[in-house]
Amino acid sequence: MLNPLSHPGAGKPPMFGDYEAQRHWQEITFNLPIKQWYFNSSDNNLQYWGLDYPPLTAYHSLLCAYVAKFINPDWIALHTSRGYESQAHKLFMRTTVLIADLLIYIPAVVLYCCCLKEISTKKKVANALCILLYPGLILIDYGHFHLGFALWGVLGVSCDWDLLGSLAFCLAINYKQMELYHSLPFFCFLLGKCFKKGLKGKGFVLLIKLACTVVASFILCWLPFCTEREQTLQVLRRLFPVDRGLFEDKVANIWCSFSIFLKIKEILPHHFQIIISFCFTFLSLLPACVKLTLQPSSKGFRFTLVSCALSFFLFSFQVHEKSILLVSLPVCLVLSEIPFMSTWFLLVSTFSMLPLLLKDELLMPLVVTTIAFFIACATSFSIFEKTSEEELQLKSFSLSVRKYLPCFTFLSRIIQYLFLISVITMVLLTLITVTLDPPQKLPDLFSVLVCFVSCLHFLFFLVYFNIIIMWDSKSGRNQKKIN
Amino acid sequence: MAALGIAMGGGNWFSALALGVTLLKCLLIPTYHSTDFEVHRNWLAITHSLPVSQWYYEATSEWTLDYPPFFAWFEYALSHVAKYFDQEMLNVRNLNYSSSRTLLFQRFSVIFTDALFVYAVHECCKCIDGKKAGKELTEKPKFILSVLLLWNFGLLIVDHIHFQYNGFLFGLMLLSIARLFQKRHMEGAFLFAVLLHFKHIYLYVAPAYGVYLLRSYCFTANKPDGSIRWNSFSFVRVISLGLIVFLVSALSLGPFLALNQLPQVLSRLFPFKRGLCHAYWAPNFWALYNALDKVLSIIGLELKLLDPNKIPKASMTSGLVQQFQHTVLPSVTPLATLICTLIAILKRKTSF
């Protein structure tokens, strides 16, 4: 909702990198035949913002290019339009993003909040407002198409419109391959549903239908690229650049933080890095996924989305700072159930992008939107009153622990203190990064500190969400119903 | 933690509205600003670097000081904070200086002085009786008034984008109105007198104030049917009101009277050399008058009733500030506009 105001008038400079990339993709898709989009050629220099997202992004760029051609062909002229920047063009680019948001993302959020059960209309509106005010998505303001489609997917699957939901999710994956972070929970949840309905009857039918939907949607999107093996392989090579290395730049994930102490990037051989990253990722998300397959529930599905995406973010290959948005979206969905922890997580996720946002001179919008978001959440959900064990969904966990340690009664207090320390640390680090200059011997000191602190937070949240998933038992839910 | 929770979730919607609009104003900091930005920077420079005797004579920049003395003192006070942001903006010769720190300081000064506006809105809300309204927050008159005033988009655009200090001036006016409603007439009169010496354009509403105070404050009692009881006229009250206005004016114009600069100050404040309409036409009667004159002159030229050589070359729509003669209709002098205004006001007052 703040988007219209922080568009052209607010003078936020275009993120030269990604802005130019989007413009370049419009140029490429409009001027070159489909067969050449993903290949290196004299007309298409892949080193200069080469296309590295799946075909649906390319089609979307093509559509925008047609509109651009209608308004001003200079914007997408082959070769000559590189680095093109003008007020009108900025307006055009921001408008395309805004329209995408209005058509896909915002209706999904509103519909999701309407479908929430057991809360009043006022709370639903407040919930929608808080999700839309999430600073991360406002400040990184383009390419929300995939999140919108993923959200439609979640909505469909939670409301038992399985085919539509999986279609929407396939479209999301074909838009940005990072949506694969969310793919395992979808797979496990739908598989679990099929098992529940009985593999010998309705379940099997559902499984076949889902398989057909997925295959059909993929074929439809990849049709121009399916004709030759070389085409498909080249696209895959662009989508998954495995020769790039474990991580690039500073990102709040395990490998980057670990490399403070031990330079694993240089010590370990390349293929070994891929293998250990793969192993760690899958080991960390296995318990939740297995549980989801065996006991599929809408609530378990959403929490598993969070924990899977977080596992991928922390342990996976070539993670970008912006990928935290893939974790933030599912957390927004559980905002009404665990408001305190969700708000805390969303604040940390915004903080983790601090170096990126400062690079684009977004300090003032960052501060303003974070304060607005925090106040909106704090007043809508009264988060500070909801820090008891019951509210944090840790009751069953604490009860189990208390069988062995009877004195374990101070969990909510610890969490409150941790929250306070966390907020103070984040504010201090922000102030330091903005006001002071880093020492000459360690020019990246502040970014590394931000990443390290965020990583510790994310590990804590990973443990927390996994605890909720594993200790969320049927008996617990039955007790609630009885009460 | 619980105390913070209560403070946060206390349901204090007024604070939420005020804080929300303040955050919005912060987002508007890097937006477009007009020449008024340079106007105020120039006034900061003038009041900071030059002695009082030169304030109304300084003309290095085209944006000369044309607000009453209290506003000049206000800019003087601001300039003492400005020097910690960027010393260069206080140099009179630095025309069109707008470094990022200057921008930040100026914008924050508007946001900060809006605090008076917020306080005044709060006081106005206290004067409203909302007991008859429904229980829903959005139906309460106080809520509606607060939203309409605090989130007034016209004010946001003019103050926080175009750049002016209307927020706190309206705050003064709303506060004086609130005081009149609260039967604290002396305070209301004092605040309005101060306001007039901040921005003299509020003379537009001075007759209303004058009549209201005369009727409600100076006549201390009414007849049973509500009309004036002429023998309840209180000379003491009239004199005290007059004394307030006199003292405030003395404080404001006194120094300039002592320096023999009063005619210069008045000529700056009431620049009749500027012409009937401003560079950007206000949608008032004279705009229609000018338009009619223009249309008639075009028709006259087409029908060859007018001699093209005798028509003045300068056009009223060229955006220039200057004196202008009308072509077909009779020219309008400042005295004529004053007489028209008075007739219009009196007509309204007699129909009371």
Give the tens place of pLDDT for each residue, A250-280: 788 888 888 888 777 777 777 888 888 889 8
Residue A475 has pLDDT above 60, yes or no: no
- Residue B39 has a pLDDT of 92
B335 touches chain A (CB under 8 A): no
Contact residues on chain B for A410, CB-CB shorter than 8 A: none
Tokens, residue B110:
């508007």
Spatial CB neighbours of B258, under 8 Å, sequence gap ≥ 6: none
pTM listed for this prediction: 0.80
pLDDT of residue A232: 85
Q: Is the confidence at residue A1, as pLDDT, over 70?
A: no
Residues of B in contact with A379 (CB under 8 A): 8-9, 16
Nearest-CA residue of chain B relative to A417? B1
List A residues 5-44 in contact with B (Cβ-Cβ < 8 A): 5-6, 9-12
Q: Residue with structure tokens 């930040």?
A: B104
CB nearest A364 (choices: B9, B20, B26): B26
Is the Cβ pair A387, B23 closer than 8 Å? no
Distance from CA of A354 to the nearest CA of B (A): 18
Q: What is the pLDDT of residue A413?
A: 85
pLDDT reported for residue B133: 65
Q: Looking at the complex, does the CB of residue B303 fall below 8 Å from at least one CB of chain A?
A: no
The DSSP 8-state label assigned to residue A76 in this structure reads G
> Cβ of B346: how many Cβ atoms within 10 Å?
11
Of the candidates A302, A356, A299, the residue with the CA atom closest to the CA atom of residue A324 = A356
Banded pLDDT at A420 (limits 50, 70, 90):
very high
Distance set, CA A258 to CA A169, A248, A262, A307, B114 (Å): 33, 14, 6, 21, 49
The pLDDT value given to residue B279:
63
What single letter denotes the amino acid at residue B319? G
- The 10s digit of each residue's pLDDT in B231-279 is 788 888 889 999 999 999 999 999 999 998 888 888 888 887 666 666 6
For residue B83, the one-letter residue type is K
Chain B interface includes A383 (CB < 8 A): yes
CA distance A262 to chain B (A): 39
Contacts of residue A9 in chain B, CB cutoff 8 Å? 28, 31-32, 161
For an interface test with B, give the residue of A129, A368, A418 to mutate (most B CBs within 10 A): A368
Buried b (16+ CB within 10 A) or exposed e, B276-288: bbeeebeeeeeee
Q: What is the pLDDT at residue A50?
A: 83
Name which of A2, A11, A379 is nearest B8 (Cβ-Cβ): A379
Task: Please tell me the predicted confidence (pLDDT) of residue B10.
Answer: 44
What is the chain B residue with the closest CA to A370? B23
- Residues of chain B with pLDDT below 70 are 1-11, 132-134, 273-281, 306-325, 348-352
Token pair for residue A299? 């609530």
C-beta of residue A253 within 8 angstroms of C-beta of residue A313: yes
Average pLDDT of chain A to the nearest whole number: 84
Task: Report the percent of chain A where pLDDT is more than 70.
Answer: 92
Does the structure show a pLDDT above 60 at A245?
yes
R_g over Cα of chain B:
24
Residue of A nearest to B5 (CA): A384
Which residues of B are less than 8 Å from A383 in CB distance?
Answer: 5
Report the alpha-carbon distance of residue B203 to residue A381 in Å, rounded.
49
- CB distance A189 to A157 below 8 Å: yes
The answer to whether B5 faces chain A, any CB pair under 8 Å, is yes
C-alpha to C-alpha distance for A48 and A67, rounded to whole angstroms: 23
B1 touches chain A (CB under 8 A): yes
Contact A26, A73 (CB under 8 A): no
Pick from A128-137, A168-177, B7-16, B156-165: least confident: B7-16
Find residue B219's DSSP bridge partners.
B233
Q: Hey, which residues does B233 pair with through a beta bridge?
A: B219
Q: From its phi and psi, is residue A249 left (phi > 0), alpha (psi between -120 and 50) or beta?
A: left
pLDDT band of A36, cuts 50, 70, 90: confident
Give residue B48's pLDDT. Answer: 93
User: What's the pLDDT band for A305 if we cut at 50, 70, 90?
Assistant: very high
Q: What is the pLDDT of residue B6?
A: 47
Place A7 in a pLDDT band, splitting at 50, 70 and 90: very low
Q: Looking at residue A150, what is its pLDDT?
A: 92
Instruction: Please state the ipTM of this predicted complex.
Output: 0.70
> B 30-89 residues with CB below 8 A of A?
30-32
Residue B337's pLDDT is 81
Which of B1, B2, B31 minimises the CB distance to A9? B31
Query: pLDDT class for A474, splitting at 50, 70, 90?
Result: low
